[in-house]
Amino acid sequence: MGTESTPIVVDFPLRGKWVAASTPAERIPSHGTDFLGQRYAYDFLRIEESKRGFKFFRGSMLRYLLVGVRLSDCYGWSESIHAPFDGTIVTAVDGWPERKRLHFLTELAVVLKNSVTFNPKKATDLGSVLGNHIIIKMRDKEVYAFFAHARCGSLRVCTGKEAHTDQHLADVGHSGNSMAPHLHFHLMDRASIVEAQGLPCCSKEYEAPHDSMWCKITEGIPGKREFIGYAP
Domain membership flag for residue 231? no
Domain membership flag for residue 232? no
Q: What is the mean pLDDT of residues 87-110?
A: 92
Domain membership flag for residue 186? yes
Domain membership flag for residue 22? no
> What is the pTM assigned to this prediction?
0.93
Model confidence at 128, pLDDT cuts 50, 70, 90, reads: confident
Tell me, what's the pLDDT at 2?
A: 39
Sign of the torsion angle spanned by Cα atoms 209, 210, 216, 221: negative
Domain membership flag for residue 172? yes
Percent of the chain with pLDDT over 90: 78
Domain membership flag for residue 25? no
Tell me, what's the pLDDT at 50?
A: 67
Tell me, what amino acid is at 8? I
* Closest among 158, 106, 112 to 132, alpha carbons compared: 158
Q: How does pLDDT run across 164-186, given as a tens digit for each residue?
A: 999 999 999 999 999 999 999 99
Tell me, what's the pLDDT at 190?
A: 97
User: What CATH number does residue 86 fall under?
Assistant: 2.70.70.10
Q: What is the mean pLDDT of residues 48-53?
A: 73
Domain membership flag for residue 4? no
Model confidence at 121, pLDDT cuts 50, 70, 90, reads: low
Helix segments in the chain, DSSP class H: 61-66, 104-117, 126-130
In the predicted structure, residue 89 carries a pLDDT above the cut 60: yes
Q: How many residues does the chain have?
A: 232
- Residue 127, classed as helix, strand or coil, is helix
> How many domains is the chain partitioned into structurally?
1
Dist. CA 48–CA 182, nearest whole Å? 14
Domain membership flag for residue 7? no
In the predicted structure, residue 1 carries a pLDDT above the cut 70: no
Tell me, what's the pLDDT at 43?
A: 97
In the predicted structure, residue 118 carries a pLDDT above the cut 80: no
CB 178 within 8 A of CB 151: no
Tell me, what's the pLDDT at 4?
A: 61
Among the ranges given (2-6, 20-24, 85-89, 193-197), the one the predictor scored with the smallest mean pLDDT: 2-6
For residue 68, the number of C-alpha atoms closer than 13 Å in the C-beta half-sphere is 15
Among the ranges given (37-46, 63-72, 156-165), the one the predictor scored with the smallest mean pLDDT: 63-72
Among the ranges given (22-26, 116-120, 225-229), the one the predictor scored with the smallest mean pLDDT: 116-120
Beta bridge partners of 171: 80
Q: By residue range, what is the domain housing residue 45?
A: 34-200
